[in-house]
């Protein structure tokens, strides 16, 4: 029996043993497992293990038959002395952390230590909490956290429904209705970082710093999953589908034009919204450049400066809050696989960040160490922005540069 089939077998054993709210008839073959009286079907795929013999890495795909057969992708890691032990551990994580949110979502009420997030005047004792876990305005069910190497319960208790566990998950999600997000927060002694995954590895993002008022051990982590939904009639789903179509069109046709202006004109003639075209040109191209240079260790800014058409300057806008960036980031890996390499590289070199990196490479030659390169935020203008507003945005950027330069020159004995 394959590892994937064994994983499904162990999941079935765990669900049957639990019974209760997760009960109902089950049916398993080597390739699939039906749960909750046939309301969902599970399939599994195993990836190369991070530590053969001690850990397994796999994905469990849950088809929701009551929601147009949308598929929820759960990335799982199990550990154990033997492969079967590691598979059982991964199955336990799915049963504890994933099964509850899925069943709660199907039943529209929290079960099995799952809570519904963002419920005004919610009764936490019944699984309805007011905190949104970083998923505001959505129907979202959040499962319990499992922890490793965190023996002090006070550490786990410091992270509640008010912590932004799943911040940016909704902004990053693909254009369909139901999604599964996974958040892992890891202690590194002096602080915490967060890894966010949405729909398996479709979206992967790391926050270098995660807010916490508690100090953890040198190493330890907590993981939890959430199911969230865009309303059936949400305008965001078709809007995001059109965004993805625009990103693909821009990327796949970039090399066919002498410069970007005739490409944007062509997109407008094809019926794309003018503001959407500008978002793709100014924001999505940042994601393509980072796909090319991030492996070299370039230290990118997590924010951008937005120069607005109404004259406003927004100086601290998280890139992950912009679907034009997050969806381009998700699509970049696939586009790189299908496009000729020289065409993708040309696309990736279009934006200002990539130009700055090229200048650094030209200045330093073969001795260039891109891991030492720390970039300032980009200025992202609206389509209708005025020259005056752009000048103000440049002044904001220059002020950031001057402030960093002054900080670097400050004597060690000056603390103010």
Q: Could you state, in order of their start, the residue ranges of all structural domains in the chain? A: 3-229, 236-409
User: Can you give the pLDDT at residue 203?
Assistant: 94
User: Looking at the predicted structure, is the pLDDT value of residue 366 above 80?
Assistant: no
Encoded tokens for 244: 């993805």
Q: With the C-alpha atoms ordered 198, 203, 209, 211, is the resulting torsion angle positive or negative?
A: negative
Q: Give percent of the chain with pLDDT exceeding 90.
A: 84
Tell which phi-psi region holds residue 322, choosing left (phi > 0), alpha (psi between -120 and 50) or beta.
Answer: beta
User: Can you give the pLDDT at residue 34?
Assistant: 98
Choose among 169, 304, 301: nearest CA to 224: 169
Neighbours of 20 (CB within 10 A): 7
User: Looking at the predicted structure, is the pLDDT value of residue 410 above 80?
Assistant: no
Quote the DSSP letter at residue 396: H
pLDDT digits (tens, 9 = 90+) for 130-186: 999 999 999 999 999 999 998 878 888 899 999 999 999 999 999 999 999 999 999
Q: What's the rounded Cα separation, in Å, for the pair 215 and 159?
A: 12
> CA of 230: how far to CAs of 169, 198, 201, 403, in Å?
12, 14, 20, 42
pLDDT digits (tens, 9 = 90+) for 27-74: 999 899 999 999 999 999 998 765 556 789 999 999 999 999 999 999
415 falls in which pLDDT band (50, 70, 90)?
Answer: very low
- At a CB cut-off of 8 Å and minimum separation 6, what does 385 contact? 307, 308, 309
413 falls in which pLDDT band (50, 70, 90)?
Answer: very low
pLDDT digits (tens, 9 = 90+) for 254-308: 999 999 999 999 999 999 999 999 999 999 999 999 999 999 999 999 999 999 9
User: Looking at the predicted structure, is the pLDDT value of residue 412 above 70?
Assistant: no
Choose among 222, 227, 221: nearest CA to 199: 227
pLDDT digits (tens, 9 = 90+) for 77-135: 999 999 999 999 999 999 999 999 999 999 999 999 999 999 999 999 999 999 999 99
Contact 311, 386 (CB under 8 A): yes
Q: With the C-alpha atoms ordered 133, 330, 320, 368, is the resulting torsion angle positive or negative?
A: positive
Contact 323, 398 (CB under 8 A): no
């Amino acid at each position: 029996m394959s590892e994937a089939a064994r994983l499904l077998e162990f999941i079935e054993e765990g669900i049957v043993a639990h019974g209760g709210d997760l009960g109902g008839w089950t049916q398993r073959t080597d390739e699939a497992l039906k749960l909750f009286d046939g309301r969902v079907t599970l399939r599994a795929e195993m990836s190369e293990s991070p530590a053969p013999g001690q850990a397994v890495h796999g994905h469990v795909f849950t088809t929701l038959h009551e929601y147009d057969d949308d598929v929820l992708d759960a990335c799982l890691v199990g550990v154990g002395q033997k492969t079967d032990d590691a598979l059982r551990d991964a199955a336990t994580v799915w049963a504890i952390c994933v099964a509850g949110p899925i069943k709660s979502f199907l039943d529209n009420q929290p079960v099995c230590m799952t809570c519904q997030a963002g419920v005004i005047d919610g009764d936490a004792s019944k699984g309805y909490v007011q905190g949104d876990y970083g998923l505001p305005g959505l129907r979202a069910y959040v499962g319990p956290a499992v922890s490793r190497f965190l023996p002090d319960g006070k550490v786990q208790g410091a992270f509640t429904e008010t912590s932004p566990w799943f911040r940016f998950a909704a902004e990053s999600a693909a254009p369909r209705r139901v999604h599964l997000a996974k958040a892992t927060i890891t202690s590194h002694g002096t602080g915490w970082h967060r890894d966010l995954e949405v729909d398996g590895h479709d979206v992967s993002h790391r926050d270098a710093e995660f807010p916490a008022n508690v100090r953890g051990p040198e190493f330890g982590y907590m993981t939890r999953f959430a199911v969230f939904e865009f309303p059936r009639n949400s305008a965001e789903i078709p809007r995001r589908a059109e965004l993805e179509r625009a990103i693909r069109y821009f990327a796949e046709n970039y090399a066919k034009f002498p410069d970007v202006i005739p490409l944007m004109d062509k997109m407008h003639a094809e019926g794309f919204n003018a503001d959407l075209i500008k978002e793709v040109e100014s924001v999505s191209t940042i994601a393509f450049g980072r796909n090319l240079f991030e492996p070299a260790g370039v230290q990118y800014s997590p924010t951008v400066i937005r120069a607005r058409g109404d004259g406003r300057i927004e100086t601290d806008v998280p890139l992950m809050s912009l679907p034009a960036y997050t969806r381009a980031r998700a699509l970049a890996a696939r586009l790189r696989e299908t496009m000729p390499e020289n065409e993708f590289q040309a696309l990736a070199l279009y934006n200002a960040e990539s130009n700055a990196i090229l200048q650094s490479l030209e200045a330093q030659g073969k001795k260039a160490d891109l891991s030492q390169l720390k970039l300032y935020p980009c200025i992202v203008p609206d389509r209708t922005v005025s020259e005056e507003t752009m000048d103000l945005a440049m002044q904001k950027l220059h002020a950031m540069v001057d402030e960093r330069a002054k900080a670097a020159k400050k004597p060690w004995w000056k603390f103010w």
